[in-house]
Structure 1
Amino acid sequence: MESMSSMACSAETCQSNCGKEGNKEEQQDKGRRATANTTSEGIVLCPKCKVEEAVASTSQESLCLSCFRSYLFGKFKLAVTSHSMISFSDKVLVAFSGGPSSRMALQFVHDMQSKSQRNLDASGDKSLPVFGVGVAFIDESVISLIPSLKVNKAIEEIEFIVSSLAPPAKELHISSIESIFSLDAEEGRSKLNGLLHTISDVTGKEDLLQHLRMLSLQKIALDNGYSKLVLGSCTSRIACHVISATVKGQGYSLPADIQYVDSRWGVPVVLPLRDCHAQELSMLCHLDSLKTQQLLKCPRFGINGLVSSFVALLQLKLQEENPSRERTIVRTAEKLTPFHFSKLPETNNLEDHLPSRWRKKLQIFKSDGSILAEALCPICSSPLNGQDLQSLKSSVGTFQSGFDIFAANCCPSCCFQILPKEPSLLESFYSLLPEPMVRRFQDTTGADESWLREQIKDCLLSDEEDGT
């Protein structure tokens, strides 16, 4: 008892390394800085410019609007330049949901494009073109209970937001999520609803919709010649994904989803807002009077909803003691080893001007085989570990049909939460999958077709036997 009491925290010191002393000193330091920057009228000045009033708080200090905007844009620009996310020859597609994060992603990309255009106009040098920008919105109203009037109003607001941006003009692509199944709207809705009906798990349905959303964005990007896909994923959202993926048993594939760059896809995905907090992005949207729309925002349930509520509550409760709680979660996950596709593939100037689908094929052809060696789940594109692959090889002889092989190639998380357990439902699930997902599965397994034939060669008939 005596040793424990000697380690207890007092008002002045901390001997147990619990961090309370450091937090107290930090708060006192913030108080001294705030007092030093306070005018005689009681207005707290921005500690950076020491001229304007501090109106927005970061995890470290309160800043004026101009410095706060520069602070967030600086994080965005650092991520873009450090990872070569955008080049002069790019045609960038910004995924836009209407929320604050995607709104700021669009605004910052627009600011970069406008600056490039001004520099080009001032120099008169036409050898370096200004990168193009497009905007994509995926309409998911078919699976929501939102009235059609609200949906139409939300789409009108999105059209106004994009059209109100200063030149260069941005092309807006609006695609319904069911269109990934069929060009016929009625057929697409029927297949989507039928596919979701085969899944009993709430979290599994939400995860599958997320994967379908990515396929829809990729289709838009590929069909229109875009070279990069920009997502508005920020620190707060990635922190939620770290916890939810861990709970779902996706620890092996987790490093693939939290990097600045993801080249698993036909059009590489980049996350320039990865180091920005959702609260800061929302604050800047409010202070800059940037219009957002939340009419189509739907609550999340299952594991995803619980984790989002937990992280939000954690951030709120510990805002004073540790305002960087979300960043701490992400920084912990960063210690995991990234995959080879967590960077942009090298291209030369000629490849930059090729269509995206050709450029991707050329990159695979030029590679040393590492891309083909990475087996990916056909549903979520998560990398499969060696144990999963060994399990696949050991069960080859039990395959009875295409959907059995498909199920065997899925990651454990998708098998548990998305794939139906009943054979009849599994067959129905496989038959209703969108063509891009089936094609990706066939392309992946096609690389190992010779291995599959080798494993089941004893069960195959020879040409002479087949003719008898």
Structure 2
Amino acid sequence: MCQVGEEYGAPAPEVPPPPPPPRAGRELKCVKCSEGLPVVVIRAGDAFCRDCFKAFYVHKFRAVLGKNRLIFPGEKVLLAWSGGPSSSSMIWQVLEGLSRDSAKRLRFVPGVVYVDEGAACGQSPEDRAKTLAEMKLILQTVGFPWHIVALEEVFGLPPSVLRHLAQEPSGTKGAYKAAVDSFLQQQHAPAPGEEQLSQPGSQDPQGPAGLPTAAQTEAQAPTAAQTEALSRLFDSVKTLTAKEELLQTLRTHLILHVARTHGYSKVMTGDSCTRLAIKLMTSLALGRGAFLAWDTGFSDERHGDVVVVRPMRDHTLKEVAFYNRLFAVPSVFTPAIDTKAPEKASIHRLMEAFMLRLQAQFPSTVSTVYRTSEKLVKAPRDGNSGGPPGPRCLLCMCALDIDTADSATAFGAQTSHLSQMQPPTPPAEAPTTPCCSAGVGRAQGCCRGAGPCRREDPRASVIEQLCYGCRVNMKDLPSLDPLPPYILTEAQLRSQRASVLQEIQEYLIDSDDEVQTGES
């Protein structure tokens, strides 16, 4: 206890605070080579120097392509370029993979496509011309064959773009190795008298991919009527969510048409790991859970003859930004349809803000969601893999996942509601008008009598050919008239085929009937 008059010693000296821990990237060394000074910190404790980070980044890109083995040597691949960081980095990876200095050079033949979406995003003609000039400058530097198309060209697409074409068998691993050996033999044994011509703008004039001369395919400037029709289409859509989904659908159809026209069998997109994680959660919110394996997987075979691949799916947006900054990868900023939109303006914006905010607090959020998408399996409905292909959605071209009318799901309720919709009954005093198939072709028309045409509602016939997610988006489109003609034409053709098939169904012989007849 303290005593009165007790003398105490001098106060204890203050202990200085411990020094702060060394900041990552200064006193630390590269985690891979343990020699160079780190310049990039990808995750906590993962600090890379410049050379090791480049090797790490390039290895990710090559490993995805080598592990899946979907792209055969000499195959034409179309690179979908938007001007953004991820797609620009993808093009630079392909360019370096085809160069002479590459250790294992890529063997496919690349081409680049750019879709001008300025009319849908509200850009002025001057801004669109300036953006196109910047795009052309970068494309000329790259040296690949390139194709520039405007989004207004969707009003001139044929209905066949919405049809699933037969896909050639991809073969096994043995077929891939045989194709590689055959390709290498052709490269090492050129034909006699063959001249090696240098190509302008190509870093590897004698590369194994056999790059063609840089062909420039630029469509004519869209007419004022097409631009006005596209603006009217997007102005008629009520919500920003439906606008983004419609824009993505039209862009996919246009890229698919370019690929089929110029003979490309693969299309590469620059979807990164972060974007795919956001897309997975967004697709769940939009009712597209049945198609997550196609929307977020490495390959998407829904179109049949053209396969969409995503080689950048292992790279995060942070890694892409660091790589583009360190190695001066050029990119062009183009305003999107949701630029400057508030956070709650659409489901896409809301889910993106939600995921990025979680990623900032819990750094493993994106990787966890992404790994979940890798476990999804592309399985047909009810395991009917050997049967004939079922109907496909008119817009997204995925297999329709239609429940029966007595189903308790929301999709089944919508299907039941559409099946119960009947065309309005004409008034009794209405005069008798000839059928739409009057004359010689009456027996082949939609009506069988002399009464008024009982053709079903065109909107109901289109909605019945959509999946659940596309039906939800079409609710925000009051009228189908602004849609491009190829969509309405294909919907009418499908309805006519279905009605004709229903009429002749009783005259067709099933395979089971043939077996029973043979046994008897």
- Cα distance, 1:217 vs structure 2: 0.9
Structure 2 contact 39–47 (Cα < 8 Å) conserved: yes
**Corresponding residue for 1:380?**
396
**Corresponding residue for 2:99?**
114
CA distance 1:115–1:58, change in 2 (3 Å):
farther
Structure 1 contact 94–134 (Cα < 8 Å) conserved: yes
Tell me the amino acid that sits aligned with residue 302 of structure 1: S
**Corresponding residue for 1:145?**
122
**Corresponding residue for 1:50?**
34
Q: TM-score, normalised by structure 1?
A: 0.71
CA distance 1:328–1:452, change in 2 (3 Å):
farther
**Corresponding residue for 2:471?**
415
- Cα distance, 1:336 vs structure 2: 3.2
Matches within 5 A, 1:31-46: 43-46=27-30
**Corresponding residue for 2:368?**
328
Match 1:234 to one of 268, 272, 290: 272
- Cα distance, 1:339 vs structure 2: 3.9
- Cα distance, 1:284 vs structure 2: 0.3
- Are residues 1:84 and 2:84 paired? no
Give me the whole-angstrom Cα distance separating, in 2, the residues matched to 1:98 and 1:209.
17
Give me the whole-angstrom Cα distance separating, in 2, the residues matched to 1:199 and 1:337.
34
Structure 1 contact 250–413 (Cα < 8 Å) conserved: yes
Structure 1 contact 376–384 (Cα < 8 Å) conserved: yes
CA distance 1:421–1:95, change in 2 (3 Å):
closer
3-state SS, counterpart of residue 92 of structure 2: helix
Structure 2 contact 461–491 (Cα < 8 Å) conserved: no
Matches within 5 A, 1:62-461: 62-115=47-100, 130-165=107-142, 169-182=143-156, 185-265=223-303, 266-298=305-337, 299=339, 301-318=345-362, 323-339=363-379, 369-370=387-388, 372-373=389-390, 375-387=391-403, 391=412, 392=415, 398=421, 400-420=456-476, 425-426=479-480, 428-429=481-482, 432-435=483-486, 437-438=487-488, 441=491, 451-453=501-503
Moved more, 219-228 or 146-155: 146-155
What do the CA deviations read for 1:280-321 (whole angstroms, capped 9, x no partner)? 111100010111111434526411111111112221233xxx
**Corresponding residue for 1:356?**
none
Tell me the amino acid that sits aligned with residue 333 of structure 2: Q
Return the index of the structure with the highest Cα Rg.
2
Give me the whole-angstrom Cα distance separating, in 1, the residues matched to 2:361 and 2:353.
12
Tell me the amino acid that sits aligned with residue 336 of structure 1: L
**Corresponding residue for 1:346?**
none
Give me the whole-angstrom Cα distance separating, in 2, the residues matched to 1:340 and 1:443.
25
Identity rate, percent: 24
Give me the whole-angstrom Cα distance separating, in 2, the residues matched to 1:408 and 1:116.
54
CA distance 1:92–1:280, change in 2 (3 Å):
same
CA distance 1:450–1:393, change in 2 (3 Å):
farther
What do the CA deviations read for 1:207-231 (whole angstroms, capped 9, x no partner)? 0011101111111111111111000
3-state SS, counterpart of residue 75 of structure 1: helix
CA distance 1:259–1:295, change in 2 (3 Å):
closer
Give me the whole-angstrom Cα distance separating, in 2, the residues matched to 1:454 and 1:186.
46
Give me the whole-angstrom Cα distance separating, in 1, the residues matched to 2:364 and 2:84.
22
Q: List runs of 5+ in structure 1 lacking aligned partners.
A: 1-30, 121-128, 342-366, 458-468
CA distance 1:118–1:444, change in 2 (3 Å):
farther
Give me the whole-angstrom Cα distance separating, in 2, the residues matched to 1:201 and 1:47.
48
Give me the whole-angstrom Cα distance separating, in 2, the residues matched to 1:446 and 1:75.
49
Structure 2 contact 297–373 (Cα < 8 Å) conserved: no
Give me the whole-angstrom Cα distance separating, in 2, the residues matched to 1:255 and 1:288.
33
Give me the whole-angstrom Cα distance separating, in 2, the residues matched to 1:289 and 1:409.
47
CA distance 1:145–1:450, change in 2 (3 Å):
closer
CA distance 1:67–1:295, change in 2 (3 Å):
same
CA distance 1:89–1:396, change in 2 (3 Å):
farther
Give me the whole-angstrom Cα distance separating, in 1, the residues matched to 2:470 and 2:243.
10
Tell me the amino acid that sits aligned with residue 133 of structure 1: P
Structure 2 contact 394–465 (Cα < 8 Å) conserved: yes
- Cα distance, 1:402 vs structure 2: 4.2
Structure 1 contact 83–261 (Cα < 8 Å) conserved: no
3-state SS, counterpart of residue 290 of structure 2: coil
Q: TM-score, normalised by structure 2?
A: 0.64
Runs of 4+ aligned residues of structure 1 deviating over 4 Å after TM superposition are: 115-120, 367-370, 388-399, 438-451, 454-457
- Cα distance, 1:140 vs structure 2: 0.8
CA distance 1:132–1:340, change in 2 (3 Å):
farther
- Cα distance, 1:59 vs structure 2: 3.3
Structure 1 contact 73–108 (Cα < 8 Å) conserved: yes
Give me the whole-angstrom Cα distance separating, in 2, the residues matched to 1:440 and 1:222.
18
Give me the whole-angstrom Cα distance separating, in 2, the residues matched to 1:116 and 1:86.
21
Moved more, 437-446 or 68-77: 437-446
What do the CA deviations read for 1:328-357 (whole angstroms, capped 9, x no partner)? 11222333332469xxxxxxxxxxxxxxxx
3-state SS, counterpart of residue 114 of structure 1: coil
**Corresponding residue for 1:7?**
none
3-state SS, counterpart of residue 43 of structure 2: coil
- More helix, by proportion: 1
3-state SS, counterpart of residue 253 of structure 1: helix
Moved more, 397-406 or 212-221: 397-406
- Cα distance, 1:383 vs structure 2: 3.1
What do the CA deviations read for 1:42-92 (whole angstroms, capped 9, x no partner)? 543212122322111223611112211221221111111121232212111
Give me the whole-angstrom Cα distance separating, in 2, the residues matched to 1:220 and 1:290.
26
